[in-house]
């Protein structure tokens, strides 16, 4: 009989490489300067917008198939390949600094995003489960979330300074960080697909049939679909709003010299939220979908008085919104992971990511006209109300499903 990994050894061998992967995957010094780089190479705003659209295509196309492949073959090696593609994308920008090169780099980056989203969560959960520590998923994932945001803050602070010295150094450093992230991912322990359950081979039999089977397994769970939809909608809003955070700060009178501190503090609040999510889950019993729904609804409402009054004294509520939504996003991910069978975990996680990305794309497209007509105040007000409404619908969907036999009751 094979010996079960000890609880101590399992988490350590999983946690350390996972945290390293979390940090280095977003330690991309190119993040704050790539649009400036494109402009320096002669691209106008129209072609830059085309590049951003090009990035989204492989993300949406690869989201589900990559989850199926990861379940059938290997989740950690999917992460390794994904980070290798992202590293290659930044390398292409270095050697081919024109529209074609930038487009190819975005395709490679988009492939990485499509391959890795959902797969990392599935790998972490089952790696912890192998040593009986799956209850620590929210805690460890929260630490990873904190490190990802710390890496972004460092990228923002260092990227601009290094870019003024050498764009090549920024590209090379960004590619190197992605390679290190790939090496960290390769160290995360993983069960063989066959050990995750016999259904894995049936679910992922290849091509379209495998995708349909995996989707069917998720869709057959009563109340799972509306909970997934409303949970994704509630948590994606703050991710869209943070794209406009620096502009909102400028409207609040923050100078250009201090706008980096404004954005850094917002990232810090999100990171603290991710770090404390497991403690708040335990103390406030936020593992209950009804309580999580109230948490999300309350977070969205925090923006209402900030926008309607315009008072600088209420700005702490603005940052508290991002803190609470970072908590909600992580707890929603944990709730999803606890309800997925191991054999199809990456596939269904990718399905959730696909819904999340689709909502994000729609909201980004809507944000332009809304902010054009009603300003950033109107955009943030609408975002807060939408997030709150989605949280309420999440709770109502759970209550409605809870009354039916055979529905998830935790």
Dmax (CA) of the chain: 68
Are 76 and 10 members of one domain?
yes
Confidence (pLDDT) at 196:
52
Are 43 and 6 members of one domain?
yes
Q: What is the mean pLDDT of residues 223-244?
A: 90
Are 257 and 317 members of one domain?
yes
Q: Quick one: which of 376, 112, 141 has its CA closest to 243?
A: 376
Are 187 and 294 members of one domain?
no
What DSSP string runs through 8-19?
Answer: THHHHHHHHHHH
Q: Quick one: which of 225, 228, 227, 202 has its CA closest to 213?
A: 202
Q: Which of the residue ranges 7-16, 72-81, 254-263 would you say has the lowest mean pLDDT?
A: 7-16
Q: Is residue 410 part of a domain?
A: no
Are 200 and 305 members of one domain?
yes
Q: Is residue 68 part of a domain?
A: yes
Task: Please report, in angstroms and rounded to a whole number, the separation of the first and last CA atoms in the chain.
Answer: 34
Output 50 or 97, whichever has higher pLDDT.
Answer: 97
Do 218 and 224 contact (CB within 8 A), yes or no? yes
Confidence (pLDDT) at 199:
44
Q: Is residue 408 part of a domain?
A: no
Q: Is residue 340 part of a domain?
A: yes
Determine the Cα–Cα distance for residues 126 and 133; give it in Å rounded to an integer: 9
Q: Is residue 65 part of a domain?
A: yes
Determine the Cα–Cα distance for residues 128 and 103; give it in Å rounded to an integer: 38
The two structure tokens encoding residue 102: 């930038």
Are 123 and 168 members of one domain?
yes
Q: Which residues of 257-271 are buried (b: 16+ CB within 10 A; e: fewer)?
A: eebbebbbebbbbbb
Domain edge (last residue) among 168, 191, 214: 191
Q: Is residue 214 part of a domain?
A: yes
Are 203 and 170 members of one domain?
no
Residue 357 clears pLDDT 90, i.e. is over it: no
Confidence (pLDDT) at 52:
76
Do 30 and 154 contact (CB within 8 A), yes or no? no
Are 76 and 180 members of one domain?
yes
What phi and psi values does residue 390 have, to the nearest 5 degrees?
-65, -40
H-helix segments, 242-344: 245-251, 259-284, 289-301, 303-309, 315-337
pLDDT band at residue 19 using 50, 70 and 90 as cut-offs: very high
Q: Which domain holds residue 370?
A: 194-403
Domain edge (last residue) among 191, 216, 239: 191
Are 31 and 116 members of one domain?
yes
Determine the Cα–Cα distance for residues 115 and 202; give it in Å rounded to an integer: 21
Determine the Cα–Cα distance for residues 3 and 289; give it in Å rounded to an integer: 36
Confidence (pLDDT) at 10:
52
Are 294 and 160 members of one domain?
no
Q: Is residue 409 part of a domain?
A: no
Q: Which helix (H) or strand (E) holds 33?
A: none
Tens of pLDDT, residue by residue over 116-156, are 988 999 999 989 988 888 889 999 999 999 999 999 989 98
Domain edge (last residue) among 191, 226, 243: 191
Q: Which helix (H) or strand (E) holds 349?
A: helix 345-402
The two structure tokens encoding residue 149: 């945001």
Determine the Cα–Cα distance for residues 353 and 355; give it in Å rounded to an integer: 5
Are 174 and 293 members of one domain?
no
Confidence (pLDDT) at 220:
67
287 CB-contact burial (10 Å; exposed 0-12 / middle 13-18 / buried 19+) = middle
Q: Is residue 7 part of a domain?
A: yes
Determine the Cα–Cα distance for residues 55 and 156; give it in Å rounded to an integer: 21
Tens of pLDDT, residue by residue over 326-354, are 999 999 999 888 877 776 678 788 888 88
Angle at 350 between CA 47 and CA 264, to 5 degrees: 60
| CATH number for 119 | 1.20.1250.20
Confidence (pLDDT) at 301:
97
Are 59 and 131 members of one domain?
yes
| % of residues, the chain, pLDDT over 70 | 86
Handedness of CA 274, 275, 281, 283 (dihedral sign): negative
Do 328 and 374 contact (CB within 8 A), yes or no? no
**Domains in the chain: how many in total?**
2
């Amino acid at each position: 009989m094979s010996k079960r990994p000890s609880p101590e050894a399992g988490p350590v061998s999983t946690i350390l490489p996972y945290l390293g992967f979390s940090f280095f995957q977003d330690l991309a010094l190119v993040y704050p300067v790539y649009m400036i780089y494109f402009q320096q190479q002669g691209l106008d705003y129209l072609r830059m917008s085309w590049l951003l659209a090009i990035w989204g295509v492989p993300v949406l196309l690869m989201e589900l198939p990559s989850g199926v492949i990861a379940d059938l073959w290997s989740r950690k090696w999917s992460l390794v390949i994904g980070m290798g593609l992202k590293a290659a994308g930044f390398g292409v920008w270095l050697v081919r600094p024109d529209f074609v090169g930038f487009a190819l780099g975005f395709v490679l980056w988009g492939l990485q995003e499509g391959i890795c989203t959902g797969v990392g969560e599935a790998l972490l959960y089952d790696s912890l489960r192998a040593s009986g520590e799956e209850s620590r998923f929210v805690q460890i994932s929260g630490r990873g979330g904190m490190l990802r945001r710390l890496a972004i803050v460092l990228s923002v602070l260092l990227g601009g300074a290094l870019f003024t010295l050498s764009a090549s150094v920024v590209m090379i450093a960004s590619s190197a960080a992605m390679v290190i992230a790939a090496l960290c991912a390769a160290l995360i322990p993983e069960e063989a697909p066959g050990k995750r359950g016999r259904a894995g081979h049936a679910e992922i039999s290849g091509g379209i049939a495998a995708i349909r089977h995996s989707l069917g397994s998720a869709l057959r769970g009563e109340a799972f679909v509306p909970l997934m939809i409303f949970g994704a909608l509630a948590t994606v809003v703050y991710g869209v709003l943070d794209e406009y955070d620096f502009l909102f700060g400028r409207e609040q009178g923050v100078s250009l010299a201090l706008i980096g501190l404004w954005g850094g503090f917002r990232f810090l609040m999100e990171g603290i939220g991710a770090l404390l999510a497991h403690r708040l889950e335990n103390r406030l019993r936020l593992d209950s979908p009804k309580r999580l729904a109230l948490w999300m609804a309350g977070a969205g409402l925090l923006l209402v008085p900030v926008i309607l009054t315009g008072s600088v004294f209420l700005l702490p509520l603005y940052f508290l919104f991002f803190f609470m939504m970072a908590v909600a996003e992580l707890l929603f991910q944990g709730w999803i992971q606890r309800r997925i069978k191991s054999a199809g975990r990456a596939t269904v996680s990718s399905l959730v990511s696909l819904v999340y990305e689709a909502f994000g794309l729609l909201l980004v497209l809507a944000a332009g006209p809304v902010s054009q007509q009603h300003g950033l105040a109107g955009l943030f007000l609408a975002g807060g109300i939408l997030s709150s409404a989605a949280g309420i619908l999440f709770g109502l969907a759970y209550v409605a499903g809870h009354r039916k036999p055979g529905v998830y009751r935790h």
